[in-house]
Chains A and B, each alone.
Chain A
Amino acid sequence: MTRKPSVCQEIEPALLATAIGDADTATAARVEVHARTCAPCRQDLVRYRAIEDAVGAWRGAPAPAEELAHARLESRLAALRRRTLLYRIFPSPLGPILIARSEEGVSCVEYLTGGADFAHSRLSRDEGIEALLDGAEVEALYRDLLEYVEGRRTRLEWPLDLRLARSEFHRTVLETTARIPYGAVRSYAGVARELGKPSATRAVAQALRWNPLPIVVPCHRVIGASGALTGYAGNRVTLKQRLLAVEGVRTRPAHHDFRIERDAMYACAGTDAEYCVPTCGSLAERSLADLTLYASRARAEAAGLAPCTACRPDLHPISR
């Protein structure tokens, strides 16, 4: 192979750059001048430009099976999204709390009793879930929750994603519990009755034990028919007492537990549209399973109830 003259060797990178349109005008002009008098370089320029043109045809040309590949990706991403949760762990007055949300809504609130670490979360043990740490998406939820726990907010109007429920029954229990108003309590038996399964009291209690959304789905408002709080988040019944206190529900300690002060609460029987003082008619004898109790008249009225026309709690409120 013959060696190129040094001037051609020197100008080669510039020639290449010119051929593929990378060169500035001065360089391109210098190359053109040289190529005019140098046949081999002129030929190189032509060849590089031919490559450039041929490759140009590749631009924007669809690849084989492109739409198929695109459709496959879309469906795979959709599947991934359906099981992706964005979470973050926050400090709170109740200890470290993990909040997670999906595209559909809030899916998990968890007290991290083992420590403020994702490894302690139930989500870390669920293989069907892709949990991604995310700051922004759950930040607003945290602010709401904090206000709620501090008593500065009475509603958490978040869309809920109940897919972490373990069964259809579990899901229905959560939905029913979610409808118990702020500042009110019902019993496990009462929830079971509302579901049309009066014998499922223990199953209801068990379902709420696995509530994936404590606070948001207010299982703290569900208590034993005796008026005892009975249990919460493992053995943290004081948390339950505290959340109820925030909502104005008074309790007193009772043998490793707390008991609501039933005679200090307004009552609504079954699906009545009225609320009463606890001594109205035969209310005092009725089982808690039949009643919803309210911490105050304001709470009962916020739930859409009117004062009873017989006992007139509006005129004769409970005196303490």
Chain B
Amino acid sequence: MDAEGFDTLVATHHREIYRYLVRATFRASEADDLAQETFLRAYRAHRALPPDANARAWLFAIASNVAKNHFRAESRRRRAHTGVREIRIETDGAGPEGETLFKEARTVLDTVVAGLPLKQRLAFTLRKVHDLDYDAIGRSLACSPDSARAHVFQALRKIRRSLNGYELPVGRDDR
């Protein structure tokens, strides 16, 4: 892929990669950093990408890796500071305006999805928000397509159980 191709890649996919990472990290500022990291990695490697490759799936795979590394480093940090067991879901209310917006937009469903284990959360988001197929999700999460599907299904079961009693508004009644 050439430089022009990479520009197109950024223009076409940065926003959705960023959204994916917002769902993965719950924070606009972290998602911003991780999305940059994703695209800087992609920039260094894009010349080796064959022209017929699925660039979108490739970017999601890089983003998933970046997210996994981020949480691995985070949990190491947290172990290092034992006792500081905060779960940071938008704790800094004084943050940039965008983060506050996100906080307000948070629904019960957002909260439930945010509580899923990382792999399930990523698999679920890739499948349901970004419409990746199970092959691509498997490549993103370094597992088989079958395990990718299992992650998504498990995520759905957990969401349903967590919503137990709370009825989501049913959007359509035609099926």
Q: What residues of chain A have their CB less than 8 Å away from a CB belonging to chain B?
A: 13, 16-17, 19-20, 22, 44, 46-59, 61-66, 68-70, 72-74, 76-77, 80-81, 86, 103, 132, 134, 136-137
Contact = CB atoms under 8 A, between A and B. Distances in A.
A20 B96 contact: no
A69 B28 contact: yes
B128 A55 contact: yes
Contacts of A58: 23, 128-129
B3 A69 contact: no
B159 interface: yes
Given A51-B168, A76-B36, A103 B22 contact: no
A16 B157 contact: yes
Given A69-B31, A80-B40, 12 more contacts: A16-B157, A48-B156, A52-B128, A54-B109, A63-B18, A65-B32, A68-B32, A69-B14, A69-B28, A73-B14, A73-B35, A73-B36
18 contacts: A16-B156, A47-B160, A47-B163, A50-B171, A51-B156, A52-B128, A54-B107, A58-B23, A58-B128, A62-B19, A64-B102, A66-B15, A66-B18, A68-B98, A69-B36, A73-B10, A80-B40, A132-B44
Contact of B10 (A63, A66, A77): A77
A137 to B, nearest CB: 8
Interface of B: 3, 10, 14-15, 18-19, 22-23, 28-29, 31-32, 35-36, 39-40, 43-44, 47, 96-99, 101-102, 105, 107, 109, 128-131, 149, 152-153, 156-157, 159-160, 163, 167-172, 175
Contacts of A72: 32, 36
The dominant DSSP class at the A interface is helix
Given A69-B18, A72-B36, A73-B36, A64 B101 contact: yes
Contact of A49 (B23, B101, B170): B170
